[in-house]
Amino acid sequence: MYLKTSPLLFLAPMEGLGAIEFRKMLALIGGFDECCTEFIRIPSHPHIPSLVNKYDPKATWPIPQAAQLMGVNAKDLAEAAYQLGLKGAPRVELNCGCPSNTVTGKGAGSSLLDTPDTLFEILTQMCQKCPVPVTAKIRIGVNDDLNFQKNIRLVEEAGCQMLTLHARTKSDGYLHPARWEYIQEAKKQLRIPVCGNGDITTEDKALEMLEKTGCDHLMIGRRAASDPFIFRKIRCKLEKRDFVEDTLLLFKALDLFFTEIFQRTSPIGSIKQLGSFLLSSRVEIRQDFLTKPYNSSHDAKQHLIECLEKLFSLQHI
């Protein structure tokens, strides 16, 4: 699958923002080839079957949903990857990029980039045991690029079938401009496909990354929250077709999001988080939505719909 010549488009596994309700909403809009769960944390002494049981490969149908693991114990991660593969995961990915201090403080996420031997052992065991493709999502490094060359090579040597590179260091967070030259370097060094991630904000930027870095595939995270049509726009650009915005489809997808999110005990935070992204192109509308007091989650839902209708009407003036 990942050796496909035309670029595949991936929705990034974003902790918090990329919850299942959000993935289902974007899957209805479509345009991308695969999404991925938020990381499934494999703690010390895990009961792996209960952790794997929460995963549903068909939850975002018709878009396939891969599974992402996070942890430091190679044996446990390999067993989890094995069980996820048996459950129907199209691929299993190791998280080597999360910059959260609660994750890196335990040696997981992007901290693995400072311990290449541990990273290699984890990926090797996962690749040997998992019945489906294993991939790795990494950053350039933690604070620098000293281990970059070694890390990208060991991902391939361990048996991974794709490398996704978020072209920032851990210390860069999300605000520093992505350093696409590292994606280009990874593509030069590796035989396995390289998926580029970072600062793909428009369809033109997507094509620019493909041209400048030579990467095989593209992954987009936060931009998909502020522009749910970004994948469809890129697909149209790649196929030299005109993009036509379908606001009715967006509202249909939002209905699905609300149906799902209202099954939570307190959904208002997730509604405001999504609204913050969807309304980001108009500061005054976004501010109105975020600062208005709400008596209930249903009030927040209704006001978000009204704000979006106002946003679309202004865009077409």
Mind listing the pLDDT tens digit for each residue in 212-234?
Answer: 999 999 999 999 999 999 999 99
How far apart CA 210 and CA 215 sit, in angstroms, is: 6
Q: Report the pLDDT value the prediction gives residue 150, as an integer from 0 to 100.
A: 98
Global confidence as pTM: 0.94
Highest CATH level, class, for 9-238: alpha beta
Residue 98 falls in the annotated catalytic set: yes
Q: pLDDT, tens digit, for every residue of 41-90?
A: 999 999 999 999 999 999 999 999 999 999 999 999 999 999 999 999 99
Q: Per-residue pLDDT for 278 more than 90?
A: yes
Average pLDDT score over residue span 246-263: 96
Q: What is the pLDDT of residues 285-311, one digit of tens each?
A: 999 999 999 999 999 999 999 999 999
Q: Which amino acid is at 188?
A: K
Candidate list 98, 195, 215, 307, residue with the active-site label: 98
Highest mean pLDDT among 1-5, 96-100, 258-262: 258-262
* Residue range 87-119, pLDDT digits in tens: 999 999 999 988 877 777 678 889 999 999 999
